[in-house]
Amino acid sequence: MKSPDQSGRGTRRRVPPFHAGRQLGAAPSRRSAAATGGKRQVARRGRPRLSRYPSVTIRRAEPADVPAIADIYNEAILTTTATFDTEPKSVAERTQWLQSHDERHPVLVAVVDSKVVGWASLTRWSERRAYDDAAEPSFYVHSTHRARGIGRELQDAIIAEARRLRFHTLIARVAEGSRESLHLSESAGFVHVGALKEVGRKFGRLLDVHIMQKMLD
């Protein structure tokens, strides 16, 4: 979804077990009871969240998922402008990247027939503490499983996590030419707030990057 990728940031902490439900944990929302009709949504624990597409399951990433995560990301590096990384990442590098995501910056995976076919993450927008209520979402789906709604499922799940974790806003970067990512962002409520002109060179072209933002509360 976003470009360029920001990886390897954050504090090394164990990612907690995945929580089921559209909101993937039990932390309260910033919204008032009045805003939610006086009802509190409490997620059930201990099971992965089932997609509205029956064959897809969204769950928290585990160390055993890293080779698949690396494979999906490396395909995007070599064939798309979805990331401005240009060199493939090793499994060791992606392991370090996963470990750098703390409890407030989760990584999710989409599983079809016991195989990881996509992933999504929340990343710190900036290391400066004043930006702690902002995060950058990313998601990638292997080419063999695109156009099946899996990207939308991952995007919906990572937005739900951002709400549960009490982020105030999400900021995404979408590279020029990534029409599907731009469409998915707009359909999820992200609005275009600016563009960075010719800031990245990939496949022999200088590319613009669109800045998309979604307010969560």
Cβ-contact 165, 144 below 8 angstroms: no
Amino acid letter at 170? L
Task: Note whether residue 140 is domain-resident.
Answer: yes
Check: CB of residue 47 under 8 Å from CB of residue 68: no
Supply the CATH number for residue 158's domain: 3.40.630.30
Per-residue pLDDT of 137-157, as tens digits, reads 999 999 988 888 899 999 999
The sheet carrying 115-124 orders its strands as 49-50, 56-60, 107-112, 115-124, 134-141, 169-175, 205-215, 191-202
Query: How many angstroms separate the CA atoms of 161 and 167, rounded?
Result: 9
> How far is Cα 49 from Cα 43, in angstroms, rounded to an integer?
10
d(CA 170, CA 111): 25
Does 153 reside within a domain? yes
Any domain includes 62: yes
CA dist 117 and 137 (Å) reads: 18
pLDDT at 146: 87
* Sign of the dihedral through C-alpha 210, 72, 116, 98: negative
What does the alpha-carbon distance between residue 89 and residue 104 come to, in Å, rounded to a whole number? 24
| pLDDT bracket for residue 16 (50, 70, 90) | very low
Residue 102 domain-assigned (yes or no):
yes
Q: What is the pLDDT of residue 54?
A: 61
182-216 pLDDT tens trace: 888 999 999 999 999 999 999 999 999 999 999 99
Please tell me which residue, 20 or 197, carries the higher pLDDT value.
197
For residue 113, the enclosing domain spans 42-168
pLDDT for 182: 86
Q: What is the pLDDT of residues 43-97, one digit of tens each?
A: 333 445 545 556 899 999 999 999 999 999 999 999 999 999 999 999 999 999 9
- Confidence at residue 53, expressed as pLDDT on a 0 to 100 scale: 57
- Is the confidence at residue 26, as pLDDT, over 80? no
Model confidence pLDDT, tens digit, residues 86-119: 999 999 999 999 999 999 999 999 999 999 999 9
Residue 202 lies in a domain: no
What pLDDT is recorded for position 51? 53
How many domains is the chain partitioned into structurally? 1
pTM for the whole thing? 0.75
Look at residue 46 in the predicted model and tell me its pLDDT. Answer: 42
> Quick check: is 77 in a domain?
yes
Q: What is the pLDDT of residue 22?
A: 35
Buried b (16+ CB within 10 A) or exposed e, 197-212: eebbebeeeebebbbb
Classify residue 61: in a domain, yes or no.
yes
More confident site: 32 or 48: 48
**HSE toward the beta carbon, residue 60, CA cutoff 13 A:** 25
CA 76, CA 163: separation in Å to the nearest integer?
27
User: Parallel, antiparallel, or unpaired for β 56-60 and 49-50?
Assistant: antiparallel
Question: Tokens 């998309």 label which residue?
Answer: 212
pLDDT band at 217 (very low <50, low <70, confident <90, very high): confident
